[in-house]
Amino acid sequence: GEDVEQSLFLSVREGDSSVINCTYTDSSSTYLYWYKQEPGAGLQLLTYIFSNMDMKQDQRLTVLLNKKDKHLSLRIADTQTGDSAIYFCAESIRGNTDKLIFGTGTRLQVFP
């Protein structure tokens, strides 16, 4: 079945780069998304990549997609304390049944 996996925690120093990883199992994905959730708030769409792309850059954010390994990553350059949040990857699947599968989230903690 479909599954999206992420590591639970990541801790980085302010100013360093953060890399959050995600693996998925279904190869019929169309879009892959990264969402950010701050405490007490809903999920906010950060960025996304179409499945026929390898990389997308958006200011401090770089998304890398390795379709062969079914691996998605989000790199945050110059990480700031305001980046502390939970990050969710999600895979949109088209097929007999269309689905959006979320990972369990990675909590990013940025320390000074």
Work out whether 44 is an interface residue with another protein (CB under 8 A).
Answer: yes
Q: Minimal distance in Å, beta carbon 108 to another protein?
A: 16
**Site for another protein contains 107 (CB under 8 A):** no
Radius of gyration of the chain (CA): 14
According to the binding rule CB under 8 A, does residue 63 interact with another protein?
Answer: no
Q: Is 48 in the site for another protein (CB under 8 A)?
A: yes
How many C-beta atoms lie closer than 10 Å to residue 95's C-beta?
A: 11
Note whether 31 binds another protein by CB under 8 A.
yes
Q: How far is the CB of 69 from another protein (least distance, A)?
A: 21
Asked if 108 interacts with another protein (CB under 8 A), we say no
Number of residues that bind another protein (CB under 8 A): 20
Q: Which residue has the tokens 């701050």?
A: 38
**Distance, CA of 59 to CA of 103 (rounded, Å):** 24
Does 49 bind another protein (CB under 8 A)? Our answer is no
Residues with Cβ < 8 Å from 48, sequence gap 6 or more?
31, 32, 33, 34, 56, 63
